[in-house]
Amino acid sequence: MVGIFLIALMVPFAFAAETNVGEIVSGGKLYISDVDVKVGSKSDKNLEDGDKISEEAKPGDIVEFNIEVYNNYTNSEDIEIEDVQITVTIQDIDDGDEIDEEAKEFDIDADDTEDVKIRIQIPWEVDEDTFDVLIEVEGDTDNNGSHEAKMDLEIEVEKEDNAVRIHRNDLTPSEVTCSRTTQLSTTVMNIGNDEQEDASLEVSNAALGVNFRETFDLSDDPFDDDSKFRKTFTFTVEDSVSPGVYPITSKVTFDDGSDTETETADLLVRSCEALKTVEEEEDDSEVVVVQPPVTTAPTEAVAQPVTTPTLTQEETKSSGNGLLVALIVGEILLVLAAIVIVVMVVRKRS
C-alpha cells in the first residue's frame, strides 16, 4: 500500500516537470510555464493567469513579455511539438483597436522548454485606462493533434497631467551644397491629460539666421487632430555661411510657460566651390599630339611618278581652303620639275 502511495506521488513529477501558469485550451501538452513582464525599466516576474502587471505603462513605453513554454510529453513518448506560435495582444488600446505582435515559429522537443521575448510599444495616442492582455500559444504534432494554451493579464496606462513631446523634427534635405534651401517639418503632440493653451514652438539657429515662432492650442483628446500641431519651416542658407554642421533647435513651451521640450536636427553645409573643383579635376584629361615621321629626299635627280599627297582628317580640318590651294600649286611645280629633268636627260644623251 505504501509502495502504491509513493508511485502516486511520483507520477505528477514524471509527467509535469513544469507548472502550467496559463489555461489549457486544447491538447493538454503545451504549457505556458513562466511569464515575466518588463515595463520601461521595471520587471514583474512569475505572473499567473488573471494577474495585473504591477508597473503602469506610459505613452510610448516598450512593454517586453518574456514567455517560457513547455512540451509536457515525456522523453519516452518522444513527441515533438512543431510550429509553435506565440502571440501577445493588447486589446482596445488603439482607439478601440487592438495591437499585437507574434514571435517567430519554433519547435519544442519532448520534456523541454523554450524562452521567447515579444516587445510591444504603447501608442503615443492612448487613453488613460486598464487594458486586457492576451497571450496565446499554439502548436502541432505529427500524430497527436494540435495543442493550445492561453493566459490573460491586465496592464494599466497612466498619463501625466502636462506632457507634450516633439513627435517629428526632420530636415529635408539634411545636407546642402550649391542649392541652399531646406525645410524643417515638425509635429508637436499632447500626450498628457490636460489641454494646453498658448503653447509655443521656437525654431532657431543664430549662425544661420534661423528664427521662427508659432503659438497654438492642443486638445486633451489623444485621437483628436487638434491634439497635434504640424508646421513646415522653409529657409535658405546664405552663401557666406562656412561649411560645417549646424544644429537646428526646436523648443516647445507649454503648461503656462513652466515646461519645455527640445529636439535638434543637424544640417550639414558643404562648400559648393570645392565640389565644383573636384568635378573639374575628374573631367580634365591630357591631350597627346602625335607628330608624323620626317623623311629625307633622294640625292639624285631621278624622275619620280607624280603622286597626290594624302591628308589626314585632322590636317584637313585644320588647314581648310588655304591648304587646298597650296596642294594645287605643289602639283604644278612637281610636273614642271619632272619635265625639266626629262629634257636635261635627253639633251645629255644627245
Q: Domains, the chain, ranges and CATH? A: 2-157 (2.70.50.60), 164-273 (2.60.40.10)
Say if CB 36 and CB 43 are below 8 A apart: yes
Does position 9 have pLDDT exceeding 50, yes or no? no
Tens digit of pLDDT for each residue in 70-112?
999 999 999 999 999 999 999 999 999 999 999 999 999 999 9
Three cell numbers, residue 7: 508511485
Tell me the C-alpha to C-alpha distance, in Å, between residue 319 and each of 291, 309, 333: 16, 14, 20
Query: Counting every residue, how long is the chain?
Result: 350
Q: What percent of the chain has pLDDT over 70?
A: 79
Please, which residues have CB within 8 angstroms of residue 76's CB and are 6 or more apart in sequence?
none
Which DSSP helix (H) or strand (E) runs through 131? strand 129-140
pTM of full prediction above 0.85: no
**b/e burial code for range 46-70 (CB count within 10 A of at least 16 → b):** ebebebebebbbbbbbebebebbbb
User: Tell me: the pLDDT tens digits for 101-146?
Assistant: 999 999 999 999 999 999 999 999 999 999 999 999 999 999 899 9
